[in-house]
Amino acid sequence: MPELIAYIGLSQSAIYDRLNENSPRYDESFPKQVQLGGAVGWKKSEIDQWIENCKNSPKRKPKRSTLQDKASTTKQSKKVAASRAIDSSHEPLSDDLAPKLQFTEQFIASLQQNEYLKACLRLPAWTPAMAALLVSGIKAPLGCTDIPSEGEGIEGEVLAASNARFYLARAIFKEWREDLIEYDENDVPCGLRESPAEISIVDFFIWCDESKIDTDWLRLIKEVAGCPVPGSVRHTHTSLAMRVSQSLPGGQVGNGESKANGSVAAAEGTSDLSG
């Protein structure tokens, strides 16, 4: 055996594997042992022929056991099933499924934005800058005193400084500050009242009504607060999201917010300052 190991370069276990019919590495062409008196050995001519055959023949695959065949078949079946599942996931959506997915996405977005607005309405007061941002559809940094150069929409959209919502927010904030100017009997500016650091939400609603300010976002905020504007355009997913959000822990917004001016007349334009 040591001479054979050195001659063909295989270990003892590898040689016996090629002789064992139950081994995965069984090789029926490997020379059989012969009796040499009290020992066993191999004929060198047969070993040389086997080596030559290995060089000139394609690499033989070892014999596989039945158990291995079953395992391989099972593994291959799983791969095929997984491949089919991946392929099916790339198939175009059916005509009836696409609208359902779109509605679900809109519903989730509405639920998130209404939860944000409810949180804002629970605050005891807003700064004038916060109020101008919120009714323009922009998330307001807590306690901000000026209109930022960029930000995030209430629905989650990233907004640049050039976005129309920022122009609207600056216009509303400017109108607020101009209302602080005092005039004499000849309508000549004669002073400037100090702007309050914060304003109650109800008072801000009233100021918007008196200043003829009307935006889609102001209408939505009022709807979440419990005082919807007559004539507002209602979206099914938005209304449904509000009903769900109101059933979540925290309930509806407090009574203080719900008392905001409910007699606001519906304006013809939306997302705009009406004169």
187 and 150 part of one domain: yes
123 and 49 part of one domain: no
pLDDT tens readout for residues 211-230: 999 998 899 898 888 876 66
Gap between the Cα atoms of 155 and 106, Å rounded:
10
Residue 128 counted as domain residue: yes
215 and 177 part of one domain: yes
77 and 122 part of one domain: no
166 and 215 part of one domain: yes
The CA radius of gyration of the chain, in Å to the nearest whole number, is 40
pLDDT tens readout for residues 179-188: 888 888 887 8
Residue 96 counted as domain residue: no
Residue 90 counted as domain residue: no
Gap between the Cα atoms of 104 and 76, Å rounded:
37
3-class secondary structure, 272: strand
268 and 133 part of one domain: yes
Residue 155's domain spans which residues? 101-273
Residue 92 counted as domain residue: no
51 and 119 part of one domain: no
120 and 78 part of one domain: no
127 and 258 part of one domain: yes
Residue 222 counted as domain residue: yes
In this structure, of 46-50, 75-79, 124-128, 214-218, the range with the lowest mean pLDDT score is 75-79
- Tell me, yes or no, if the pTM score tops 0.85: no
Question: Bridge partners of 181?
Answer: 192
Gap between the Cα atoms of 33 and 1, Å rounded:
11
Q: Give the chain's domain count.
A: 2
122 and 219 part of one domain: yes
